[in-house]
A = this chain, B = another copy of it.
Amino acid sequence: MAFPPHPFDPLSPDEIAETANVVRNHNGAPNVLFRVITLLEPPKEEMIAYLSSPSPKAVPKRIAKVHIYIEKVFHELHIDIPARTIVSDRLLHGRHSHIDSAYMKQVEEACLQDAQVQDEIKALNLPDGATVIAEPWTYATDGMSDMTARITMCWFYMRVSDHPDANYYAYPLEIVAEVNEELEVTKIYRLPTGEEVDEPMGNQKKVHDHRKIHTSSEYHPDLVSTRRTTTRPLHIIQPEGPSFQISGNHISWEKWTMRLGFNYREGMTLHDIRYDNRSLFYRLSLSEMFVPYGDPRFPYPRKGAFDLGNDGAGVNANNLELGCDCLGHIKYFDAWHVTSSGEPLKMPNVVCCHEQDDGILWKHTNFRTGNAVVTRSRLLVLQTIITVSNYEYVFIFYFGQDASIHYEVRATGILSTAPIDIGGKVPYGTVVAPGILAPYHQHLFCLRIDPALDGYRNSLVVEESKAMPFPERTNPFGVGYVTESTVVEKEAGLDLDHTKNRAFKIVNETVVNQMAGTPVGFRLMPWYSQPLLAHPSSYHSRRSEFGKHAVWVTRYSDEELYAAGIHTMQSSGDEGIASWIKARRDSLQKASVRNQDIVVWHTFGSTHNPRIEDWPVMPCEKMVVGLKPVNFFDANPALDVPISSQEKNKSVL
C-alpha cells in the first residue's frame, strides 16, 4: 500500500483499525458487531477533478463506510478516517446486512438441536452413521412471512461417508426448517418429492428411501477411484519475467493502466482504465447477480440468491493457489476485511494477475511475395474466484493488446439439489443421480460499465444494419445495406436483437474520429441470453429489476452501484435500476443520458437447466462479454505489437 493512499485504494489494515476505534469510542466496544469497514469511494465529481489534475490540495478525503449492529439494530456509518470523526450515522430499520457467517453457524446449530427437527430427522429413518447437515440459506422473499424480521431457511443434507469432504449435496433430505432471528425454529416444512403442488406443507412425515444411497456422486480425489493419467504437464515460462508493472494497486501493462479495487461486496473492481493514456472507463464492476430457481412448488420459491448483495463476492473470494488456480508468472493481490470485533482481517490472494498467450492476434500473407507477417496475442488476466455454498464463480477481466476488454464469468462447483422420489420426474428439473433433483434455475449477472471515453460525458448509440429498400434506384441489385444509428436520449432498458445486428456503442459525441467522421466509441459485445423468466409480478422479478432487459443506460449517481438495490437481503422489490429510472422519467433534465455522465449496464447469464454432465461437479460454463474500440483510435492499436518469431517463442516439434 502506497502512502498516502490513492483515493481508489481499498482501506489499509491501519485505516480499518483506526475506523473501528472511532466507532468503538462512539458506541462502546462490547455492544458493536462489526460487519463491514470498507472504502466509501469518493464522490465522482471530486475524483474527476483529482484525476484531471492531481495535486495535494485536491485529494479527496478517506472516508470509511461501516456497517455495524448495535443491539440488533443495523447502522451505516461514514467515518472521516484522518479526522477520526463520524460524518454520518444512519439507522437502517428493517434492512439487513449481508450474510453473517457466525450467525449462520449459530442458526445451523440451533436448528440441529431443535427437538422437532430431531423428531423429523428421526422419522426420515436415515441410514446408520449418517451425518445430518443443515445448510442455511437466506430467505428469498415470497410474500408469506414478515419481510422485516431476519429469516433463515435451513435445508438439510446428509453425509453417508466418514470423509469430511464427501459430497453431502448428493443427499438432500426431505425437510426444511425456518429459523427466526432468535434462533428458534418457527416452522418445519416437508418438501414435495414429486409433483405435489396440492399439499404444500406435507401432511405425512417423510421417510428417506434407502435406494437413494449410491457411490457415484463424489468429486473429492480421495473418493474418486479412477483418475486419468494421460495429461502431461504444461508449464508457462516467462524467462524475462512478466510484461506488467505493478505499484501498489496500480497496474500497467502494454499501454494499459488501471487501478485495482476490491471490496467485500463486489469483490474485484477496476478504476480509471486507460489505454495509451487515453481515458476509457471510470469504473468496471460486477454490479449484482441473481440466481432464481424455477421450481414452483412451495417452499422452493424461497430459493433465489443475490450472490453479491446477500453473500458478497468479496467476502467469499477464494485464497487462490499458485499452480492450481493460476498458471504461469503470477502476481497476487490481498484484500482486507474486518472481524466482528473490528480487527482487520487479511484475505490473501483474492485476485491473481498474469499473462496468457491467446493465439493469433493478426496475420497477413502477401500472396504475391509469399511473405507472412504474424503477431501473437498476449492477454493480461485479472481473475477472482468465489464460493457461494455449493456454487463457484470465476470472474475474469482480459485486457488485449488491441485495446479490447473481455469479461468472462465461469460457473462451476456443485448444483443446488432437492430430493425427488426414486423414479420421479418433474418438468422443472433434471434427475442427476438417484433421488437427486437438480432444479432448473437462471444465473443473471449485471456488469456495470461506467464509461469515460475521452472524458466523462458520453452517450449510448444503438446501431442496426438494415437492408436497403428493393427494388429501388439506389439499390439496383438488392445487395445494399446500411447502418442506422439512434442516440439514446433518456434513461432506458433495452433489448438485444442479433437479427438486426443491433450494436450498443458508447460514444463521446464531442470527440470525432477524424478519419471515420463519427464520434469515438467502444462497442459492447453482449452475451446473448434469456431474460428473467419469473412473472413480472413475482417477488423474484420485482427484486431483480435488472433481469428484465439486457442493456440499461442511466445517469451517473454516486448512490447507484447495485442494480438490484443496496439492501437485497429479504428485499421486497421496486428498488433497483428500473425504479431509479421510473423515479426520474418525468424530469427531462434528470433522465437525459445524451452527452452526460452515464452508466451502461449489461445483464447476461444463462438459463441453467442442469445436465447429467454437470454432476457431481460442474465443468465450467463460460459466458463472455466484450468491449471493443470502434473508431476510437486512428488505426489498429495492436499494429506495433512485436512480430512473432521462433527465436523469441521457442516452440518445439
A613 and B640 contact, CB distance less than 8 A: no
Question: Which single member of B234, B254, B298, B641 contacts A357 (CB below 8 Å)?
Answer: B234
Instruction: Give A219-262 as 1s and 0s: 1 = Cβ < 8 Å from B's Cβ atoms.
Output: 11100101111111111111111110000000001110000000
Q: How far is the CA of A517 from the CA of B434 in the complex (A)?
A: 12
- Asked whether, in the complex, the Cβ of A612 is within 8 Å of the Cβ of B640, the reply is no
Q: How large is the interface on A (under 10, 10 to 19, 20 to 34, 35 or more residues)?
A: 35 or more
Cβ-defined partner of A540 (8 Å) among B378, B392, B479: B479
Residues on B with C-beta less than 8 A from A390 are 364
With both chains docked as a complex, state the minimum distance between the C-beta of A166 and any C-beta of chain B, in angstroms.
9
A197 CB, min distance to chain B CBs, angstroms: 5
> Does A587 interact with chain B (Cβ within 8 Å)?
no
Question: A231-B378, A465-B530 provided; 8 other pairs, C-beta below 8 A?
Answer: A236-B237, A323-B648, A363-B617, A425-B517, A427-B482, A612-B633, A616-B636, A619-B636
Q: Let me know if A376 is at the binding interface, CB within 8 A.
A: yes
- In the A-B complex, list the 10 residue pairs whose CB atoms are closest, starting with the nearest: A296-B480, A323-B646, A478-B535, A478-B538, A402-B619, A301-B477, A323-B649, A498-B528, A427-B482, A501-B530
- A217 nearest in chain B by CB position: B635
> What is the chain B residue whose CB lies nearest that of A463?
B609
Q: List the B side residues contacting A254 at CB < 8 Å.
A: 228, 230-231
| A321 part of interface (Cβ distance < 8 Å) | yes
Query: Separation in Å of the A130 CB from the closest CB of chain B?
Result: 16
Cα–Cα, bound, A325→B364 (Å): 11
Q: Which residue of B lies closest to A534 (CB)?
A: B479
Residues in B with CB closer than 8 Å to A195 are: 474
Contact A296 B538 (CB under 8 A): no
A549 to chain B minimum Cβ distance, whole angstroms, is 11
Partner of A631, one of B369, B467, B611, B629: B611
The CA-CA distance from A477 to B298 in the complex, in Å, is 8
> Known: A296-B476, A652-B330. Contact between A640 and B226, CB under 8 A?
yes
Determine if A483 is an interface residue (Cβ-Cβ < 8 Å): yes
Q: Do A228 and B640 form a contact, CB below 8 Å, given A432-B516, A648-B323?
A: yes
Q: How many copies does the complex hold?
A: 2
Instruction: Tell me, yes or no, whether A397 is within 8 Å of chain B by CB.
Output: no
Report if A292 contacts B (CB, 8 A): yes
Interface stretch, picked from A68-76, A77-85, A409-417, A454-462, is A409-417
Q: B647 touching A164 by the CB < 8 A rule?
A: no
Does A556 lie at the interface of the complex (its beta carbon under 8 Å from any beta carbon of B)? no
- Cβ–Cβ contact B332 & A653, under 8 A: yes
Closest partner residue, chain B, to A239 (CB atom) = B233
Known contacts A230-B254, A646-B324; is-contact A369 B530 (Cβ 8 Å): no
Which B residues are in CB contact (< 8 Å) with A440? 465, 481-483
Measured between C-beta atoms, what is the minimum distance from A228 to chain B in Å?
A: 5
A632 to B642, CA, bound (A): 45
The residues in A between 317 and 373 inclusive whose CB is less than 8 angstroms from any CB of B are 318, 321-332, 355, 357, 359-369, 371-373
A389 within 8 A of B: yes
Q: Chain A 361-404 against B: per-residue CB contact (8 Å), 1 yes, 0 no?
A: 11111111101111011100001010101101010100011111
A220 contacts B630, C-beta separation under 8 Å: no
- Chain B neighbourhood of A143, CB < 8 A: 477
Known: A481-B294, A613-B636. A431 touches B515 (CB 8 A): yes
Q: How far is the CA of A230 from the CA of B243 in the complex (A)?
A: 6
Cβ of A123 within 8 Å of any chain B Cβ, yes or no, is no
Contact B378 A234, beta carbon cutoff 8 Å = yes
Residue numbers in B under 8 Å from A618 (CB-CB): 362, 636
Q: A318-B365, A607-B501 are in contact. Are A296 and B243 (CB under 8 A)?
A: no
Cα separation A470 to B535 with both chains bound (whole Å): 7
A301 to B458, CA, bound (A): 37
- Kindly list chain B residues whose C-beta atoms are within 8 Å of the C-beta of A404: 619
Q: A529 interface residue, CB < 8 Å from B?
A: yes
| Contact between chains at B235 and A243 (CB < 8 Å) | no
CB <8 Å contact, A640 and B227: yes
How far, in whole Å, are A328 and B224 apart by their CA atoms in the complex? 31
Cβ contact within 8 Å between A631 and B430: yes
B330 touches A651 (CB 8 A): yes
Q: What's the minimum C-beta distance from A439 to chain B, rounded to whole angstroms?
A: 10
Q: A476 with B298: in contact, given A238-B233, A640-B227 (CB under 8 Å)?
A: yes
Question: Can you list 22 contacts pairing A with B, beta carbon distance less than 8 Å?
Answer: A219-B364, A221-B373, A227-B642, A228-B255, A231-B641, A232-B238, A296-B474, A322-B652, A323-B644, A325-B363, A330-B651, A363-B413, A403-B613, A430-B516, A466-B533, A467-B534, A478-B537, A481-B533, A613-B635, A613-B636, A615-B636, A619-B637
